[in-house]
Amino acid sequence: RSDGMGTSFGYPWIALPVCIACCSGGVYNIVYAFGFGYGLSMTANGVLAYLNFDQTRFKTSDAIIARLGHIGGYVAYGVRLFIFLYQRHVALSFSRKAAEMQTRSDTAPLGSKIGISVVVGSLIAAYQFGVFYHVKSSKKPNIITWIGMGLWVLGLTIETIADYEKMAAKAAHPDSFVSTGLYSFCRHPNYFGEILYHLGMFLNGLPACSTWKEVVLSSLTPAAMTW
C-alpha cells in the first residue's frame, strides 16, 4: 500500500483516470472539458494530494504549512473556477453565447469531443506532479516556496476579481468593451492573474524537486496553461 513516503499505491497515476472522468462532460459540450472539467480536475488533484499527505513525517510546522498551502492552491483554484463558470453559465447575459457554443459543440464529431476531453484531462492530471513531489519530499521550504505561495494567492485573487468585474460589466452592457476596475489598468487582468497563479504554483513546489526530471515534469502543465 505504501512506498515509505506516505503515498498510497496508485498515486499519482490515479490522477489520470480521475481527471479524464472530470473532463468527460466535454463529450456533451466541448467547452465543459476546458471549463467545468478543468475546475473539477484541479480540485481532484488537490484532494488526491491531501489524502496521500502524511503530515507525521514532518517535524516542523513550516514544512506542513508549505505543503498544505500548495495543496490548497489546487482546491481553491478548482472550486473558484467551477463556481464562477456556473454563475456565468446561468446568467442571462451569457445565454446567447452559451447557446452558440452548444450549437457548435453539437455539430462536432463525437470522436473529436472524446479526444479533446481525454487530452485536457491528461494535461490537468500532469499538474499533479508538482504537488506529488512536494508531499513526498522531506526537504524544508525556502524563500522560493513562500514567494511561490504568495504569487499564486495574488494571481488567484486578481483573476477572481477580474472575472467578476467582467461578468458584471457584460450583464449591464453586453456588447460594450470592458474598461473599468482592473480592466482600466490592463487589457486582460484575468489572464495576467492566471499566469501569476501558474507561476506561483510551480515555484511553490520547486524547492522540493530533487532532479531535473522532477523539475521538468512539475513545469509541464503550468507552462502549457500559461502559454
Percent of the chain whose pLDDT exceeds 70: 96
4 pLDDT tier (thresholds 50, 70, 90): very low
Map residue 12 onto helix, strand or coil: coil
Beta bridge partners of 2: 8
What letter represents residue 14's amino acid? I
What pLDDT digit, counting tens, does each position of 104-128 carry? 999 999 999 999 999 999 999 999 9
More confident of the two residues 164 and 95: 164
6 pLDDT tier (thresholds 50, 70, 90): very low
Nearest to 57 by CA among 123, 134, 116, 125: 134
Could you give the maximum distance between any two Cα atoms of the chain, in Å? 57
Nearest to 115 by CA among 174, 198, 27, 203: 27
In this structure, what DSSP letter does residue 189 have?
H
What is the pLDDT, as a whole number, of residue 7?
52
8 pLDDT tier (thresholds 50, 70, 90): low
